[in-house]
Amino acid sequence: MQAFDVLVLGSGLAGQSLALRLADHKKVALVTKRHIEDGATAWAQGGIAAVIDPADSVEAHFDDTLVAGGGLNDVAATRFVIEHGAEAIQWLRETGVPFTPDQAAPWGMHLTREGGHSHRRIVHVADATGAAVHQTLTERVSTHPNIHIIEEHVAVDLIVGHKIGKPELGCVGAYLLDLKSGHVRAVAASHTVLATGGAGKVYLYTTNPDTATGDGIAMAWRAGCRVANMEFIQFHPTCLYHPQAKSFLISEAVRGEGGLLKLPDGTRFMPAHDARGELAPRDVVARAIDFEMKKGGFDSVFLDISHKPADFLRGHFPNIYARCLELGIDITQQPIPVVPAAHYTCGGVQTDLRARTDIPGLYAIGETACSGLHGANRLASNSLLECVVFGRAAAEDILANPRTQPRALPAWDESRVSDADEQVVISHNWDELRRFMWDYVGIVRTNKRLERAQHRIRLLEREINEYYTNFRITNDLIELRNLVTTADLIVRSALRRKESRGLHFSRDYPDLAPVARPTVLNNSRFPKGVQRWTAQP
Task: Give the CA angle between residues 85, 130, 79 to the nearest 5°.
Answer: 20
Q: How many helices (H) and strands (E) does the chain have?
A: 14, 20
CA distance 169 to 486: 26
- Check if the beta carbon of residue 28 is closer than 8 Å to that of residue 48: no
Is 356 among the residues known to form the active site?
no
The one catalytic residue among 79, 113, 255, 282: 282
- Check if the beta carbon of residue 322 is closer than 8 Å to that of residue 186: no
- Check if the beta carbon of residue 387 is closer than 8 Å to that of residue 365: yes
Amino acid at 380: A
CA distance 248 to 117: 23
DSSP single-letter state for residue 506: E
- Check if the beta carbon of residue 389 is closer than 8 Å to that of residue 88: yes
Q: Where are the beta strands (DSSP E) in 138-232?
A: 147-150, 153-160, 171-178, 184-194, 227-228
Instruction: Encode 334-361: b = buried (16+ Cβ within 10 Å), e = exposed.
Output: ebbbbbbbbbbbbbbbbbbbbbbbbbbb
Closest CA to 360 of 392, 403, 405: 403
Q: Which residues are catalytic?
A: 282
